[in-house]
Chains A and B, each alone.
Chain A
């Protein structure tokens, strides 16, 4: 029964990925952004290369105690070779401090993503 459920979940995941056409490199950057606004440090570091971890944590820490959420996030990967991709995104991080919203445009960033042992990881910006 458990095996069936697992297989079903995997199939559903694959179908979802295929239907969205999202490359895993783009998906990992979107997951990174979500972890960032959720301030989920373990998740964030699990999605980054070791060499980029301090940068990722700096991004996380910069939002300190402001409330954050994503708006209209959509990332696309430009894959070069088997294991490297550049990912650009549209959308914003909205950080709310008191009654003031600050908008961080994500379109001016390019993330370097690498496939390391089968896992796509954010390794640079």
Chain B
């Protein structure tokens, strides 16, 4: 059986003790599994005004950790207004081990501070309406899709959740519920997942090579939406990119939201572009479209080299391949993100 144990001791060892309680409170705020209302957040533009307090519902015991970045910048802004370099993400202890706190509605940081965003998505209030619109249009509440490159292929990414019953049995009830709901979507090959896929490729009709019954005039994205009718789409793109990357991402998001599909944007572990602009673009789009973002970057920021390295024989592609630890966190936090969004919108 593939172990899904997250190396808690390593993360905790890297964290300053004084930040732990703050991280714990922040994680409770952002990552309430099984608490849909708490997971929903105000639209980004109005969050600064959203000062009302909500009481988090008691959470059920969980063996899975909540992954959050240390929100040090929120607590101790520097006089200059420049945020300090974020620290490594930390694992909060199981929610049930602490008293139920009174929590403030989560407030999103600006896109410039994307490194400080929590690993798991804060789900905007508008996402639920979008999801319901999609169901009315015929989207399948039991289907999700992925747009991604080779690191989104089923055998590398989420396929185990359809194929490894023992692994699934080891998950928290909330995650098991998400696996059960989306059974069949995890280990599925699709026209929108292929090595080298860029945002532009998802919109280019030839990219699917006429496989999957896609027609020659149909884009991979259109084909996938026709075939699978997803209610949620994880956009796991960016390692392969182009100059007009954000233009294509907007076209993708326009199509998804028009069809009532809830997108989950993802940041990536690598910095192939050298200035991290692609992750920042993802955060910008999350704000612009008021949609969830799974901040995978933060989930691996404590790993050596951010959990990426070169692959033998493909050195020319650079440090883009996830290490074993990186892969494990990739699939686990993706499932957590999917479950959090689904829980919040359904």
Contact = CB atoms under 8 A, between A and B. Distances in A.
Contact of B198 (A62, A98, A100): A62
Given A64-B241, A102-B209, A97 B195 contact: yes
A59 B205 CA distance: 9
B204 A58 contact: yes
A61 B247 CA distance: 11
Contacts of B200: 58, 61-62, 64
Contacts of B244: 57, 61
B216 interface: yes
Given A66-B196, A98-B195, A108-B216, A61 B248 contact: yes
B242 interface: yes
Interface string A63-83: 111100000000000000000
Residue of A64, A99, A105 contacting most chain B CB atoms (<10 Å): A64
A95 B196 contact: yes
A103 interface: yes
B314 A59 contact: no
Nearest to B204: A62
A58 B313 contact: no
A58 B200 CA distance: 6
Contact of A64 (B198, B210, B313, B314): B198
B25 to A, nearest CB: 41
A100 B195 contact: yes
Interface residues of A, number: 21
B248 A65 contact: no
A103 B211 CA distance: 12
A100 B194 CA distance: 11
Given A58-B248, A108-B216, A65 B196 contact: yes
Contacts of B209: 102-105
Interface of B: 150, 194-196, 198, 200-201, 203-204, 206-207, 209-210, 216, 240-244, 248, 311, 313-314, 317
Top-8 shortest CB links A-B: A61-B200, A61-B242, A62-B204, A97-B196, A64-B198, A62-B201, A97-B195, A66-B196
Given A98-B311, A99-B314, A108-B216, 20 more contacts: A58-B203, A59-B204, A61-B201, A62-B201, A64-B196, A64-B200, A64-B201, A64-B241, A65-B198, A65-B241, A66-B240, A97-B150, A97-B196, A98-B317, A100-B195, A103-B209, A104-B206, A105-B209, A105-B210, A109-B216
